[in-house]
Structure 1
């Protein structure tokens, strides 16, 4: 009798389990939410922000309430923060800072607000751009072989510090506006073979941290297709490794209204994507802060041009130092008002 009861209990238990299994199988599969694959990056480079705050600059919303600058940017559609990093910078208010430690602190702060992160390596102690690509003082006497190691180690060190702090950038720029190369004279584009080796060291260090980080190679004059073909043909011929073609677009500096060059920008974006099978991005843009409507319309047009690149290869648009209000920075192409409030030009990112 006892054995019969045990068998009956076992059969009853199996019936319950089968019933539960049948009920579960009738339920829909759980929905797993994943990040949007092709989320358009609407960005701001805010390398000055920590120093603006350190000097007591206050940021305000339209209702006169004091707010965190990053929150003000986020409220206007910005979802990406770009940060430059210098090797051994000075303490100069405008042309210094942006050290590894300061970059990590700001990246963590932006990341904790849900922002995407781009890191821009200048490989210098201060500004690197088409007119100057000075070696860091600590690297000045190094041989070319040592410079390659310097690029790798510096890139790896900064990105490892970010990773330790819980931040993995989505994009990393190896060099800033480098049509003439970087780490002059060794990495001049007149010796593209050596420039390629330096760029590849930055690429390798980035991928060693996380292979999913997209590496950007960035030059200026985004409306100049001949310049871009020359540079990226040379990059291809010399085996440069990268994922994204980054460009600057500043009609102000070429003494032109954007309406005269916006078609050239769009054509260049599309040509770069198809010619080299790469994603493209406007990583720097800006307009005269006194011409609010013009800057707004320019931003709308640039965003549209990038979005018009076929196959979702146009990744986004980044405004360079929108918060750098003129009285603090001396910079004409900011997008902030003298009362500490964002310019209405930034509303272009809301749409």
Structure 2
């Protein structure tokens, strides 16, 4: 009897160890993905996507065929209907998230806390929040975040990651949440964090700053965040050599240093949540992506989580954006083959 109990216990121990190993492995799968916020509008306006043989193909399938396993979606509060600077409402985001999930892809949600683009140059409040007091703004951030994430979960998609703010080296919801008032910015970020965790504790919260190669900018921001006891799980970085008028070869070592420094200094995982290269410099963009992916993968202990291309499918003919990775014939750029490796 004792022997049987021992064998049974041993079997259960083996089963549990295999389960925990599988779970740990799943959690360390490197994320390779794309922000595709423009995709529904591209399709609605008649843009067609093609594979290398010229066969019309679902864009997400084309991205998946290139090794991508994750999709990033932005959310605006009350957006307009402009094809390039509108849409991305809660309802549209849910539809896209479900579509990505059906493809077996992981989902990241990116809150801009604005009615249109929020980035280092502009962090405008949503129109509906413009006259609100700071205590009301805290409630706005919590309620909006909770509403979107809980609605996604009810629809059947629990995001793996959520960004509280988009490229916020100067803060968000200006002027109240500017870095000129870190005490208030810290409270706003924590409200977003708390709303996400109220829906699901397992969702990882990202705080996102641009210029991933600029270590001084990141130390300034995250030292202040630490002083204000800002709660988050992952440091998100943008990396665009194009916007600082340098080749990736001049800045990739700085990116690598910064990735490692962020992990050591703040004990946080890191992730490139936006990257892009020029669509007419295919080989250079391929090399940029390959080097960026390698830099993130080299972060010790699997603390470099992944790399996301910003709007690779956003062909210049449709978006007038020079940093997509799509060809004029509607086919993916060979630069995206960097994600296959």
The equivalent of 1:65 in structure 2 is 55
Aligned match for 1:133, one of 114, 123, 134: 123
2:321 to 312, 323, 331: 331
Cα 1:27–1:203 change in 2 (3 A) is closer
Distance 1:298 1:152 in 2: 37
SS at match of 1:318: strand
For 2:300 and 2:250, locate their aligned partners in 1 and report how far apart those are by CA, in whole Å.
Answer: 23
| Bigger Cα Rg | 1
Q: State the TM-score, normalized to the length of structure 1.
A: 0.92
Q: Specify the alignment match of 2:266 in structure 1.
A: 276
**CA distance in 2 between partners of 1:133 and 1:215 (Å):** 20
SS at match of 1:261: helix
Counterpart residue number, 2:185: 195
Taking structure 2 as the reference length, the TM-score comes to 0.94
Matched residues in 2 for 1:105 and 1:281: separation? 25
Of the three residues 57, 66, 71, the one matched with 1:76 is 66
1:342 pairs with 309, 332, 339, which one? 332
Rounded to whole Å, the distance in 1 between the matches of 2:191 and 2:10 is 51
From 137, 141, 148, the counterpart of 1:151: 141
Aligned Cα RMSD in Å?
A: 1.6
Count of matched residue positions in the alignment of Structure 1 and Structure 2: 331
1:310 positional shift: 1.1
Tell me which residue corresponds to 2:161.
171
2:245 is aligned to 255
Determine which of 286, 291, 313 is the counterpart of 2:281: 291
Q: What secondary structure, in the 3-state scheme, does the structure 2 residue paired with 1:233 have?
A: helix
Q: How far does residue 226 in structure 1 lie from its aligned partner after superposition?
A: 0.4
Residue in 1 that maps onto 2:197:
207
Q: What corresponds to 1:13 in structure 2?
A: none
Matches within 5 A, 1:287-326: 287-326=277-316
Tell me, what secondary structure is at the counterpart of 2:27? coil
Counterpart of 1:232?
Answer: 222
Name segments (4+ residues, structure 1) moved above 3 Å. 24-35
Q: Using the TM superposition, give the Cα deviation of residue 37 of structure 1 relative to its aligned residue in structure 2, in angstroms.
A: 2.6
For structure 1, the 5+ residue unaligned runs are 1-17
1:213-267 deviation digits (Å, cap 9, x = unpaired): 1100001000000000000000000110000000100000000000000000000
Where structure 2 has 5 or more consecutive residues not aligned to the other structure, the ranges are: none
Q: 1:261-307, CA deviations, whole angstroms, 9 ceiling, x for partnerless residues?
A: 00000000000000000000110000000000000000000001111
1:36 aligns with 2:26: yes
Distance, in Å, in 1 between the alignment partners of 2:135 and 2:26 is 41
Residues 168/26 of structure 1: CA separation in 2 closer, same or farther (3 Å cut): closer
1:336 deviates by 0.2
Shift of residue 26, structure 1, vs aligned partner? 12
| 1:312-334 deviation digits (Å, cap 9, x = unpaired) | 11000000000000010010000
Deviation at 1:139, TM superposition (A): 0.3
In structure 2, C-alpha distance between the alignment counterparts of 1:322 and 1:106, rounded to whole Å: 16
2-side partners of 1:270 and 1:111: how far apart? 31
Equivalent residue runs for 1:81-100 within 5 Å: 81-100=71-90
Q: Compared with structure 1, are the counterparts of its residues 26 and 128 closer, same or farther at alpha carbon in structure 2 (3 Å cutoff)?
A: closer
Distance 1:27 1:279, change over 3 A: closer
Q: Secondary structure at the match of 1:269?
A: helix
